[in-house]
Structure 1
Amino acid sequence: MRIKVLFFDDIFSDLFREKHSAEEVAWDDSWIDSISTALDESTQRIGVNFDIVKSGEIDAWESLIKNEAPDILLLDLFWVEQAQQKYNDRNRAIDISLDALQKIRKSFPTLPVVCYTIKPDYETMERAFNLGATFFLEKVPIAIPEVHSSLKYIFIYLIRQMQKENLILDSDF
């Protein structure tokens, strides 16, 4: 079975990379690598291949979803540099992703969307769920694949639920 994951994070954007040194993004890069490794390691053991498409172009969400046809979307909630550019206010970093989430949900109502951030608070989670997040993760500051291994099972579960709700039958499940 193949599962395509569209991974939206500001860490992948040129804008973010231009504003931050390699040392400043090292933790995020390690975290991303650990998730990629955790998903890659599942192939032989559980028979699932995860194809990961990474993008830092949140404003291109619609064309990316149409072109890539992901099974699931992984969405970072804080886009600091994009908020600075769009609103001239870094404190509106969450508005970038939540605006996109609301539009994604209208255009792609059955696409599972997993939102994440470091140290979420109740209000952040509620806003994300109210706008259509399917699941919420805390971005854990431990960058080893074993910590993120459960993510693959969450993805499989969400896709199975979507298939049940849409009465899509797939013999691989």
Structure 2
Amino acid sequence: YATWWIRQTIERAIMNQTRTIRLPIHIIKEMNIYLKKARELSQELDREASAEEVAEVTGKPVEVIEKMFNMHTENVSSLDVAVSKDSDQQVLDTVVDQGAKEPTDILQSEEVRENLTEWLELLSDKQREVISRRFGVRGYHPSTLEQVAAEMGVTRERVRQIQMNALKSLRSILENEGMSASVLLH
């Protein structure tokens, strides 16, 4: 009985640690079944067995067998490798960063930042103070409603009301300038 548990632990350790990208155990076991059938067929036929032949023997669809074979032969490449033998450029340098902002977005956000001070000046003193403290602008760190309420000596609800009115005013200011309120979110 203990032998079975030891064997299972060793098998699982091998399955979990041999691949660069870990696959679930049940996938590896299924892949091993198909690979074993392929090896047996190859010995019988004295040539490499095709995915169609393995599918016929196992009773599984050809697509499943091909998918398992592809997973088995898939190579993991480093992004630090050179694009070609003649080039010093790495693969990583050619991959597009999906999270990177477009230059136009950066310019727009800088423009918004510059205009924000101007827009805040159009609000009342209390509204300007609440927005500045809540969202961390004009030298403040972002604060919760409770923190702003304690610092200003008013209730949390009053801070929320002032904030809502200020945001409504900012929205109309932006609309008057032909901008969407979403520019403040970027």
TM-score band by shorter chain is under 0.3
Give the TM-score taking structure 2 as reference length.
0.22
Higher helix share: 2
Higher strand share: 1
The higher-RCO structure (CA 8 Å, 6+ apart) is 1
